[in-house]
Each structure stands twice: as C-alpha cells, then as structure tokens.
A and B are shown apart, each in its own frame.
Chain A
Amino acid sequence: MQEKAILIDKRDNVATALCQLGKGDSVQVGVEDFTSDTALLENIPFGHKFALRDIQKGGAIIKYGEAIGLATKQIRHGEHVHVHNVESQKGRGDKQ
C-alpha cells in the first residue's frame, strides 16, 4: 500500500509528501522503530515538505540527517516547509 509521506532519517524534522496532501489530513511517518504523527495545517503539494515539529526561527531544517537550511521564521508542526520560510547557507553572494 502506498504511503502518504516519507521520513528519511529519524533525526529529520521534515517529511516529504508522496501525493497531494490536504489541510487537516493526519499523516503518520516512520523509520525503523520511530514514528511521528502530524495534522497538516495547510495543503502540501506532491514532493514538498512539511514540519514534523515546531521549528524556531533560525533553527536548522534537517533532511537526510543533515542541515539543508535555516528557518527564516517560526515554523509550526504541520506547516509547509519551503522557500517562503527556509534559506540556504551556501552560495550566498548576497550576504557578503
């Protein structure tokens, strides 16, 4: 049976939608013996990420067990995590 979303590493604080997910949907993801439940606060497009817990402004977004960027604002558990609330730490010629 097809899963709704996937968690790659248990250290991750985001999961990836495996289909179009809607606001209010409840989604469970897991890896090995670890599971995490989320009630989505907004629609999540196919292939996009949502937060598995609250992430403070400036906190690292973790995927593959590694930091993929920093939160530019407070992100609530169940919110869409993408370019509107995450910035890269690499290739920032604009910050020199």
Chain B
Amino acid sequence: MKFFGYRRSNGRAGTRNHVLVFPTIVCASTVAQMISGRVAGTVCAIHGCGCGHVGEDKEQVIRTMVGFTGHPNVAGVLLVGNGCELITPDVIAGELVKDGQRVEATSIQEAGGTSKCVEEGIRLAEKLLAEASSLERESIDISELILGLECGGSDAFSGLTANPALGVASDLLVAEGGTVIFTETTEMLGAEQILAKRAGDAEVERDIYEKISAAEAKAKSMGMDIRGSQPSPGNIEGGLTTIEEKSLGCIRKGGSTTIVQVVNYAEKPSKKGLVIMDGTALDVQSNIGLIASGAQVIAFTTGRGTPVGTPSVPVIKVSTNSDTYERMKENIDINAGVIIDGKGTIQSVGKQIFGELREVASGKVTKAEILGHREFDIPTLGPVL
C-alpha cells in the first residue's frame, strides 16, 4: 500500500514540504517571527527555551530541537540565534548537517541588530523556499509512515468510541509494516499490567513498568491527590472518575499489537511497529515530542473538543461524541460519535480513520491546518538556571 509523499535527500519520507524559521533561543523569537511574516509560505515555531539548561534537561531540549527541525516534513530550516546563548544555531545546525538536512543560520549579534538580522533572514528563507518549491510528491510505501497518537479533553466516551476506533487504524498501519507511537505516560497509570502483557520482550516489559512507576512517583512527590489534574476538571465533568478509568480508555488508541520498544521523549524508535514514547500529558508538548520522534502524521482524539495543531505535521482530529462534533465541526475531521448513535461501528470508523491517514499523508489538509493552528512547546525537566 502506498501514499504520496516527499522523498528527502537523506532517504526519509515527508508528508508536508515546509520551510521552517526556528529560533534556537527565546531571545530570537521576535526576529524569527518577523522573518517568517515577511516570507509567505514559511512556518515559524517559537518557545521559551535555549538557555539555562543543564544535564538531562539540556540533552532533551537539544534532542527535541534537532528532531523537530530535522524532520522530513521540513524541506529546509532557517535557524535564528542571538549569539551568547547555550543552544546557538551552530549547536543544532551541526547535528542537522550530519543528518543531511538543508539548513541556513543567522544570529542577531553577528548580523548587527534586529533589522539587519531580519534582512539577512529574509534573504536566506527566500532561498530555502525557492529550493523547496521545486520538489514533487512521489509514491512511497505506507510502511514508511510513523503515526503519532494523542488524546486531549477526554470524556467517558473516549475509551468507548474514538480511542478503540483509532486502535483499529493503528492495527491496520502496523499490519502494513508501519509504525505507531503513543505517549502520555501519566495516562498509563492503572493500565501498566495490561501494557506489560503486550511487551515484545522482557526489556520492553521492564521499560514499561519503569517509566510508568517513575511517572507515578513524580505525581506523588507533589504530596497531593492528582485528581483535579488527572483526571482534569473537564474530564470529571465529562464522566471520568479516576486516572485508572482515563488510562484504560487512553491505551485503547494503541490497538492490540505487540509493543516493540519504549523510547524517551523526542527519541527516534529503532524498530517498526507499536512504540511507547515516555512523556508528559500536556497535549502540545506531546505532539512536538511525537514529531521529534519522527511522526509524520498525528491522530488526535478529543471528547470535550480541542483546536490544537502543529507547525509542520498534520493533526487529524477525531471526536468521541456527536454533541462535540456538532459544536466544533470546524475543528474536527472525523466523528466517532456515530458509534454511540448506532450509525457506525468501531471497525467502520477505524477504517475511515485509516483512509483519512493515507489521504492526509498524501496532501489532504486537516481542519487544524485550514484554521492555521500551529501550537508549539518544548517541555523542560529541571529548573532553568
């Protein structure tokens, strides 16, 4: 089975052909936005990171930036720095060049201030855009697709409609030789025994228990009941009572195949099949981690309704109930609420999601893309020093 994607010079397959303007430090955010605003057709992603990171936190921020800017949906990237930061454009560019990514860089201090840096940045972004615009889609095997899974604004129907239907789509992609990554470790609390039973080997089983118990230890270290955050007030109003109930519903989106690997946040899997990425339960941070891990399409289920997209990777929204779909039609691509209404089944909606995945991978725009949703965030692990 095939889709139409962009074959990059380093061999990877993309589903979009973006030119990205990316500040490596928060201080360069405005300049990056000015450049992107002046070069139509580019995308920009701003964040609060780039300085004050140490140890594991520094490693994770750099891994996220490298994975995100070197992603196959990015045809070329312009990195913008200030000059005195910890993570300069050179730190990221060095990794990207090794990986064969097309990259340009500019810095405010070196260019001689804001205006000069914006002028130089515009020139470089225009060059990248001209190069990217000559590339064409070609037929690529669907086994090269990595689907990221996400759920946000869950309700009691998430585990009954949208998540099991997405599970069917996940199983179909894995059966075609593709890869599916699911994340949000906190939302696995109470489901660890079920996930561990599906581990491909003893190492994966150990990793599953380790990551989930670390997430629980972190939650407990706050000295409080996590109810109110997990489940959130919106989840509780929607009928979810405990984190265990939410987790058992959440994990259904991963389908029923063997879990082949557990990776860290923003780490690329080395195996194909169903993979767990360790990470927080904040939707936007999860999306960016999934992208940095290589996902070229994200499928996102929602009970209460959420608008978020990403700067570079399409997000397919699936609603769990028809009320939310009717209220937020402009944000939602597929309504799994038909399963409650008796107008569809978990199987039929699952096949619909899989069909949509192929079309979106081949260029069909999602609702979040049409509306211009490009939310971006990088999680930090420790105090910023």
Contacts and interface: CB of A to CB of B under 8 A. Distances in A.
Interface in A33-68: 45-49, 61, 63-64, 66-68
A17 to B, nearest CB: 8
A47 B238 contact: yes
B239 A88 contact: no
B216 A90 contact: yes
Contacts of A89: 190, 242, 244
Contacts of B321: 47
Contacts of A81: 241
B239 A94 contact: no
B239 A91 contact: no
Given A2-B341, A49-B239, A91-B243, A68 B220 contact: no
Given A16-B160, A66-B248, A90 B239 contact: no
Interface in B201-251: 216, 219-227, 230, 236, 238-239, 241-245, 248-249
A68 B157 contact: no
A90 B189 contact: yes
A47 B239 contact: yes
Interface residues of B, number: 36
Contacts of B239: 16-17, 45-49, 82
B194 A66 contact: yes
Contact of A68 (B227, B230, B241): B241
* Interface SS of B by simple majority: loop
Contacts of A67: 244
B159 interface: yes
Interface centre among B186, B191, B194, B243 (most CB of A within 10 A): B243
A68 B244 contact: yes
13 contacts: A18-B340, A45-B239, A47-B321, A49-B156, A66-B190, A68-B241, A68-B244, A89-B190, A90-B243, A91-B189, A93-B219, A94-B223, A95-B225
Contacts of A87: 227, 242
A88 to B, nearest CB: 4
B225 A94 contact: yes
A95 B216 CA distance: 13
B157 A88 contact: no
B168 to A, nearest CB: 16
A30 interface: no
A52 to B, nearest CB: 15
B267 interface: no
A8 interface: yes
A1 to B, nearest CB: 6
B241 A93 contact: no
Given A90-B189, A93-B226, A2 B340 contact: yes
Nearest to A45: B239
Interface string A66-96: 1111000000000001110011111111111
B40 to A, nearest CB: 44
A93 B222 contact: yes
A52 B156 CA distance: 17
Given A16-B156, A68-B241, A91 B248 contact: no
Given A92-B225, A95-B225, 20 more contacts: A1-B342, A3-B342, A47-B155, A47-B156, A61-B241, A61-B242, A63-B245, A63-B248, A64-B248, A66-B248, A69-B245, A83-B227, A88-B225, A88-B227, A90-B216, A91-B220, A91-B243, A92-B220, A92-B226, A93-B222
A61 B245 CA distance: 10
Nearest to A82: B241
